[in-house]
Structure 1
Amino acid sequence: MHAMQYEITLPADYDMGIIRERVAAKGHLLDDCPGLGAKAYLIRERGIDGSPVNQYAPFYLWNTPEGMNSFLWGPGFQGIVDDFGRPQVQHWTGLAFADGAAAGASSKATKSAKSAKSAIRRRIRVPAATHLGGLAAELADETSQLVQREGAIYAAAAIDPRTWEALLFSVWDHESPKGQGDVFQVLHVSAPERTLLPAGRQW
């Protein structure tokens, strides 16, 4: 599993309705994307849930590098570049994934998670003295614990061994969930291969 995100920070007076309309018109285009486990179309709005910025910041979980590459070198990402400029694409190698009770049998069978309302992303700097195997196990355990909470749809843990940044990402069926990290609104989730994402720890 590969986790990926890019953040497009917009002016303070930007009409976020433009992003909402964009996702409403184009979000379904990745509902059948090969290699894509799940893409959460995320926004933050200045002054809401503690956000200091307006931002469009979709978060991806890829099953295959071929799927990720097809998106990055194809028309989908080029459309982002054409409209907003080329953003820095952050990516992390997967440590763990888990579905929550709120995913529901019907949601798992479809290609989108229509009940998703919000997401939390917690970034964790990994000090040089950290025992890496212990950290990975802790993050995998926390992923499992997150999805046991009411309203959890799915959660993932990942790490970037270049910058030594780890993260926990979770998607929820209600607004303004409680938890540490940046809170995002979810406008849509494309999940063509979410059931193929490897469950549990990934080493």
Structure 2
Amino acid sequence: MHAMQYEITLPADYDMGIIRYRVATKGHLLDNYPGLGAKAYLIRERGVDDSPVNQYAPFYLWNTPEGMNSFLWGPGFQGIVDDFGRPEVQHWTGMAFVEGVASGAAPSTKVAKAAIRCRRRIPPGTPVGALATQLVYEAKQLARQDGALYAAVAIDPRTWEALHFSVWDHASPKGQGDVFQVLHLSAPERHTLPKGQQW
């Protein structure tokens, strides 16, 4: 599993209805995309949930590097580049994926309302093996909370940053990190994302 996100920060007076319309008319295009576990179409609005910015920041969990590459080098990402310029694409090595208590027997693409992303630096000297085990445990704990659809943890070994990402079926989840609104969830291969620890 590969986690990926790009953030497009927009002017303070930007009409976020433009982004909402964009997702409403184009979000379904990835609903059957090969190699994509899940894409959460995320926004933050200045002044909402303590956000200091307006931002469009989709978050991806890729099942295959081929799927991720075909998106990045294909017309989907080129559309972002054409409209907003080329953003920095952040990516992390997946450590664990856990379905949440609210996901039910068949994951739904229609009930996601919010997401939380928590990033933290891994201090020098931290035993990385023990940290990885702790991150997996934390993902399982997140997924057990009421309203959790799924949780994932990942690490960027270039910058030594740990990431928690969780998606919720209600608009005001409790947790540390940046809170995003989910406008749409494409999850064509979420059911085949490797569950639990990934090493």
TM tier relative to shorter chain: over 0.9
> Is 2:90 the counterpart of 1:90?
yes
Q: Residues 87-126 of structure 1: matches in 2 within 5 Å?
A: 87-106=87-106, 108=107, 113-126=109-122
CA root-mean-square deviation: 0.7
Aligned partner of 1:156 in structure 2 is: 152
The CA distance in 1 between the partners of 2:172 and 2:68, in whole Å, is 29
Q: Residues 118-137 of structure 1: matches in 2 within 5 Å?
A: 118-137=114-133
Asked whether the 8 Å contact 1:101–1:152 carries over to 2, the reply is: yes
Which blocks of at least 5 consecutive residues in structure 2 are unaligned? none
> Is 2:35 the counterpart of 1:35?
yes
**Aligned partner of 1:198: which letter?**
P
**Aligned partner of 2:26: which letter?**
K
The CA distance in 1 between the partners of 2:110 and 2:179, in whole Å, is 18
> Is 2:56 the counterpart of 1:56?
yes
> Is 2:49 the counterpart of 1:76?
no
Question: TM-score under structure 1 normalisation?
Answer: 0.97
Identity level (%) = 78
Question: TM-score under structure 2 normalisation?
Answer: 0.99
Which blocks of at least 5 consecutive residues in structure 1 are unaligned? none
Aligned partner of 2:4 in structure 1 is: 4
Deviation at 1:105, TM superposition (A): 2.1
SS class of match (2:94): strand
**Aligned partner of 1:31: which letter?**
D
> Is 2:188 the counterpart of 1:192?
yes
